[in-house]
Every structure is written in structure tokens, then in C-alpha cells.
Structure 1
Amino acid sequence: MAVRKFRIRVNGVLYEVEAEEVKEASAPRQEVSAQPAPVREPKASAEPARKPAAVVSQDGETIIEAPLPGSVLDVKVQEGSSVEVGQVLVILEAMKMENEVTSPVPGRVKSVKVQKGSAVDANDVLLVIDRA
């Protein structure tokens, strides 16, 4: 019987597998060798990951919540600052990675609820923005 080659992707890793079809139930099992094929890995970026901020809007205010648990590495704005859509507000560290929390709306920072070095859980309030 002929040996056939297959490419199988498991959890994002590509494997080339050789397998032989067995027609008889009593035939001895054949070993299958699986060797990862060369796969291009995505390039690691030195830039922090940008996380969309969890947002709660009420009475013209936008409440920015932490998208994941971590510690506050830096607060890039202060009360009274004007902010644009996409502007970095806070940098969180989670699992040794830096995550930028950005503004989903334009406006003025009404209050900052965290400070550098503080720990936050997911959905903790980071700051409040008054919409422009």
C-alpha cells in the first residue's frame, strides 16, 4: 500500500505527516512520524499591544474600564487634558506585556481613577472622559 503525505495544522503549527492506509483490521499498526514543517512565525513587535478600552457611556460621560487585569505602568493623561480618538491614555502591564488603553471618543479628561504602580482588575474604572 502506498504511503500518502498530508499537511495538518494543529494549534497553528503546520505538520507534514506520512500515513499508510490499512485495509485489514488485523494488520499491525504502523508508526506515524510527525515533524513540524518550517513555518514563518509572525514577527514580534517592540511596540506595546493596543487594547480597546471597555466603555460605559452615561450622561455625556464615557467611563474607561480596564480591558484586562494588570498593573498600571504609566498614565499618559491628567485631569483636564484634551484627548482624541485613539490617543493612548494608560499603559497596563499584564503577563509581562505592555498594553496601551486608548481613547474611544474625543473629549476632556474629567477624572483619573488610577495612578502609576496601582493594580487593576478587568473592568475597574481607569478614568472618565467628558465628551466634547
Structure 2
Amino acid sequence: MQLKVTVNGQVYEVEVEVEEEQPPALGIFMAGGTFSAPAAAPVNGAAPAGDGEGVRAPLAGTVARIPVEEGQEIEAGTVLVVLEAMKMETEITAPAAGTVGSILVKPGDAVTGGQLLVELG
């Protein structure tokens, strides 16, 4: 691109090379549906689950329902917690078969993305 620039009354012709910026990527957005949180992968820099495996919230929201109980035997894909965010429900499912250890939230609790919800045994 050719530009004319005036400095102290002196006109200069300048050639400028312009690089086009890439628009920012929006990333992945999941509206509703089912989400299986990885057991060992911390989300948003959160601390690891500890000694046992745990299921973390993939997004911020409010706990709508908890259809399992501590000590219950579960299969992979069993719904552990239902979160509500922006009037949409997201089912958080078990990544593998096992036993529900501690349930760390209760209906009505506000949770943040990456927060540990359920420990599995």
C-alpha cells in the first residue's frame, strides 16, 4: 500500500506492507446434550482430583439434579449430575464403570467449570 506522509512540511511517499489479522477462533460450544468429563484431566487449571478418580464440571452452572447415590454401582455413561446453565440442561456422565464415592455438590449449588462434582471409586 502506498501512503503519503507529511513530516514538518516535507511530503514523503511511503510503501507499507499490511498483514491481515486472522479473526479470533470461538472454540467449541456445546448446547445441551451429554458430556463425559475426563477423569484425570484437570479443567481450567484446577487441581487434580486427588487419590481417586473424579468427575468435574465442564462448564459453570447450577446443579439441577443428582440421579445417583453414594455407594451406587454405575456403568460407563451413567448420568451422575445434571447441570443447568442458561436454561439448558447438560448431563454429566460417568467416564467408566465403577462405584460412586463422594458426591461433593447438592441440587441448587452453583458450580464453576473444572470444579470436582463426584469422586468415583
Secondary structure class of the residue paired with 2:68: coil
1:53 to 37, 46, 52: 37
Alpha-carbon distance, 1:76 to partner: 1.0
- Aligned sequence identity (%): 40
Partner residue in 2 for 1:72: 63
Higher relative contact order (CA 8 A, sep 6+): 2
Alpha-carbon distance, 1:58 to partner: 5.9
**CA displacement, residues 58-96 of structure 1 (integer Å, 9 cap, x when unaligned):** 65x211000100000001111101110001000000111
**CA displacement, residues 1-60 of structure 1 (integer Å, 9 cap, x when unaligned):** xxxxxxxxxxxxxxxxxxxxxxxxxxxxxxxxxxxxxxxxxxxxxxx511122422765x
Q: For residues 90-129 of structure 1, what are the structure 2 equivalents within 5 Å?
A: 90-129=81-120
Query: Scaled by the length of structure 1, what TM-score is found?
Result: 0.58
Alpha-carbon distance, 1:110 to partner: 1.0
Listed as ranges, the gaps of 5+ residues in structure 1 are 1-47
| Greater strand fraction, Structure 1 or Structure 2 | 1
CA contact (8 A) 1:82 1:109 kept: yes
1:82 to 60, 66, 73: 73
Query: Scaled by the length of structure 2, what TM-score is found?
Result: 0.63
Cα distance between partner residues in 2 of 1:82 and 1:105: 11
Question: Aligned pair count?
Answer: 82
Secondary structure class of the residue paired with 1:85: coil
CA contact (8 A) 1:54 1:67 kept: no
